[in-house]
Structure 1
Amino acid sequence: MLKFLHCADLHLDSPFKGLYHLPTSIFKRIQNSTFQAFKQVVQTAIQEEVDFVIIAGDLYDGQDRSLRAQTRLRRELERLSEKNIPVYIVHGNHDHLEGKWVDLHWPESVHFFSGGQVESIAYEKDGKRLAMIHGFSYEKRAVMENRVHLYPDGTDECYHIGILHGNAEGRSGHDPYAPFQVEELIGKNYDYWALGHIHKRIELHHDPPIIYPGNIQGRHPKETGKKGCYVIQLNGKQATAVFHETQDIIWHEEKINIASFSNLSELVEKSLQIKEGLREYGKGVLVKLILEGDSDFHHELNGQFLDEMLEMIQEGEEEHSSFVYPYQIIVKTMPKWDREKLVNETHFVGGLLRNIDSYEEVDQAVSELFLHKKARRYLEAFTSEEKKELMKEAESLLLMSLLKE
């Protein structure tokens, strides 16, 4: 039997841009969260008494890894070394080998895979070879070619584990680095594929397991939910994968439908209830409240009320180690009107709505944002869902203006 831990995308010392407006104590906690998450990864490996640990790329957030990040990483790897737990590491696109850094002395039990060509390392226990571990580090930031053919085929002599930091072909939303097809990985006859690069937990295949563990700590509002690592057991042809949480800070979105509320005080009370329901011992929770539904008091959800409400439900949270901090309230509510009836009207509003339903020039409308010298550095391309949301919000604003009388 073989037992090991698989994690990826540590992004140690992530800068957490755009969060400076948060209270100082909470912001400092967020800044330290990637280190705390990796500390929990190591603690899990020790508690589970794993044979070894695999880190599938992007240990650091940037190619010029900070001395602080390297020092904190070494400290945790030394804890594993003291427990005789080897660590096998590949570098990904964020921490590729062309970067500049002060290289530290690492424990002898830590193996960093070389760049470019696939390297194969034997794991031995009590003088017996139990596994061959195959992988490569990014020798440059953008590895665009498929390198699966460079991995040797597996045999029945021992377990074979592949480490690959790359993007499964056909999956959008991520840079297509080191692309691969699932069928190619299955064809290698390996017992497990330890993937990295995608910050979401995804099991691409069950037998053999081909798994993205996701990152160990969410770094911004889009990386919501539980984050962590997997502990894998291989026993003959049987494989089990158990997820373990590691995040110190949880990003969360909570939708509140206000259609059944008769006044604003019910909204405030519901928000407080939700806040308490999200509290987790020892964890920090950053929550975005999204208000939805048709309501007679939609027009009362103005800037002054929302600012006061947010300040009230935030009060005192920065003093708690197990905090729940609502950092934003998004209004997606609508006045109560019959859209279907309005669409079928012959007046201007009906024509406007019919035009919105057939509008396909969102990219052109927002193109100036991405051409702006400063703004484009902080923007990512809109997804299809985000474009739909923009259209929905634009429609809401137009209708509110036109029908306010």
Structure 2
Amino acid sequence: MKEIRFIHTADLHLGSPFTGMKGLQKEQWKRLKDSTLLAFDRLVDYAVEQRPDFLLVAGDIYDGENRSLRAQHRFQTGMQRLADEGIPVLISHGNHDHLSGKWTRFELPSNVHVFGAEVSRKTLAIRGMDVAISGFSYGERHVKESKVKEYLPAENRDAFYIGMLHGSLEGETAHAVYAPFTKNQLLEKNYDYWALGHIHQRQELHADPPIVYPGNTQGRHRGESGTKGFYDVRLSKSGAKLEFIQASVLQFDEVEVDCSGAVHMNELLEACSSSANRFAEQCGPAALALKLVNLDAEALELIQEIPEEELLEAIRESVEAQDTFMLVQRVSAARGNEGGELSPIAEEIIAKMDSWEIGDWKTVLKDLYRHPKSGRYLEPLETGAAEEVKSLAAEKIRRSLGMGLNS
């Protein structure tokens, strides 16, 4: 049975600024800032070791249109390593690293093919088999129209056909909608595989043929929790086998800390340290949000008396004594059965925020995003980012107007 093997990755977001991280030590900040680059190194290391027939990068190699010098150099170095091993790489740039950005250009080695702004096809010869790969790069940041109609359908049954598309399934609300498509539109092309990008949560939209998002290679905030990576794909005319390969060097997540019976601060700190340590043993390095649960009335009162930053600093120092890298981003508390109630005004404000859709958040935050200085550093306001803002705002409201706790 004829078979090809390739790596499907997307959304590397090299050079991600990790905005909003406060109170970090120098080494913590460096580990966080380098995480997307280290995840990329893992991708290249795997490809060099496994020697697939080719590698597909379906958009957003870089985090911004003004690609950082360091990120570009890291990518060029990785591409040269793959060139030295004779591994072709096909790239389609996405909305974050579109072709209209301004950057200091690096010359990529000859093994790299970059799709232009119009849909085109590149054919590879793999062990006597033709592999026709179609794709395009974003010519500008916002590609709102569907591009699927521009993909030529498959016409040779003996060849393999792959489509690369950085875009959104119609009706998707978790991310900004770019280059929208429907599953039926893709299936009508009779391709053997669709390599998607843009959505940071890995998912398989269709099994036969595979229509796949690999997710991003490294989480960048709590909304991108869990392990991240890419797919090692073995494709034949009878089907495909996809193996997920972890690339992320640290994991974003939330962990509940059982505080049953804790009435003194040293007991709370020990509970936080133990919970973080257990997570590290299971999952490795991480950036965590800790949620204190099962607090009795006395412990609730103890936490209320401590400024938020001071509590976070103490917990960080307790956790940092461990060998594994563990960053505590934030700490919140769940009200126990004996806890007090939120004030009516706090309840009303939080309930109002819970009812907001993405359009409401854009209206509320429009002045911030339009500001000439702050706007350029902000992530696009998509559903994941809005949920993060809502969570932080609700916690602040609870601290200011209610119990100071997160329900």
TM-score, normalized by length of structure 1?
0.84
Structure 1, unaligned stretches of length 5 or more? Answer: 343-348
Note the C-alpha offset of 1:309: 5.2
Q: Secondary structure at the match of 2:72?
A: helix
Q: Secondary structure at the match of 2:91?
A: strand
Note the C-alpha offset of 1:99: 1.2
Instruction: Classify 1:106/1:271 alpha carbon distance in 2 versus 1 (closer, same or farther; 3 Å).
Output: same
- Which residue number corresponds to residue 230 of structure 2? 229
- Which residue number corresponds to residue 78 of structure 2? 76
Instruction: Classify 1:303/1:211 alpha carbon distance in 2 versus 1 (closer, same or farther; 3 Å).
Output: farther
Code of the aligned partner of 1:8: A
Name the CA distance, whole Å, in 1 between partners of 2:232 and 2:277: 31
Note the C-alpha offset of 1:332: 3.2
Name the CA distance, whole Å, in 1 between partners of 2:83 and 2:289: 40
- Which residue number corresponds to residue 107 of structure 1? 109
Task: Point out the more displaced range, 27-36 or 303-312.
Answer: 303-312
* Aligned counterpart in structure 2 of residue 323 of structure 1, from 322, 325, 338: 325
Note the C-alpha offset of 1:200: 1.1
Name the CA distance, whole Å, in 1 between partners of 2:162 and 2:10: 15
Instruction: State yes or no: 1:45 paired with 2:47.
Output: yes
Instruction: Classify 1:60/1:389 alpha carbon distance in 2 versus 1 (closer, same or farther; 3 Å).
Output: closer
Code of the aligned partner of 2:207: H
Deviation track 1:238-260 (CA, whole Å, cap 9, x = no partner) reads 201111111122212112354x4
Instruction: Classify 1:185/1:101 alpha carbon distance in 2 versus 1 (closer, same or farther; 3 Å).
Output: same
Deviation track 1:254-300 (CA, whole Å, cap 9, x = no partner) reads 12354x43534543332121111122699531111012456322222
Instruction: State yes or no: 1:154 paired with 2:151.
Output: no
1:62-211 → structure 2 map (5 Å cutoff) = 62-115=64-117, 117-126=118-127, 128-155=128-155, 156-211=157-212
Code of the aligned partner of 1:97: L
- Which residue number corresponds to residue 333 of structure 1? 335
Contact 2:39/2:247, CA 8 A, preserved across alignment:
yes
Contact 1:167/1:198, CA 8 A, preserved across alignment:
yes
Contact 1:334/1:396, CA 8 A, preserved across alignment:
no
Q: Secondary structure at the match of 1:304?
A: coil
Instruction: Classify 1:303/1:14 alpha carbon distance in 2 versus 1 (closer, same or farther; 3 Å).
Output: farther
Name the CA distance, whole Å, in 2 between partners of 1:201 and 1:143: 22
Code of the aligned partner of 1:22: L
Structure 2, unaligned stretches of length 5 or more? Answer: none
Q: Secondary structure at the match of 2:31?
A: helix
Note the C-alpha offset of 1:307: 5.2
User: Which stretches of structure 1, 4 residues or longer, exceed 3 Å deviation after superposition?
Assistant: 264-267, 280-284, 305-313, 316-322, 351-401
Number of aligned residue pairs? 389
Note the C-alpha offset of 1:331: 2.3
Task: Point out the more displaced range, 330-339 or 367-376.
Answer: 367-376
Name the CA distance, whole Å, in 2 between partners of 1:196 and 1:398: 42
Name the CA distance, whole Å, in 1 between partners of 2:387 and 2:329: 25
Task: Point out the more displaced range, 128-137 or 355-364.
Answer: 355-364
Contact 2:346/2:402, CA 8 A, preserved across alignment:
no
Code of the aligned partner of 1:152: L
Name the CA distance, whole Å, in 2 between partners of 1:71 and 1:121: 25
Note the C-alpha offset of 1:357: 10
Contact 1:57/1:89, CA 8 A, preserved across alignment:
yes
Name the CA distance, whole Å, in 2 between partners of 1:32 and 1:129: 39
TM-score, normalized by length of structure 2?
0.83
Code of the aligned partner of 1:325: L
Note the C-alpha offset of 1:109: 0.8
Contact 2:55/2:90, CA 8 A, preserved across alignment:
yes
Q: Secondary structure at the match of 2:45?
A: helix
- Which residue number corresponds to residue 27 of structure 1? 29
What's the Cα RMSD here? 3.4
Note the C-alpha offset of 1:310: 3.8
Instruction: Classify 1:304/1:87 alpha carbon distance in 2 versus 1 (closer, same or farther; 3 Å).
Output: same
Note the C-alpha offset of 1:102: 2.5
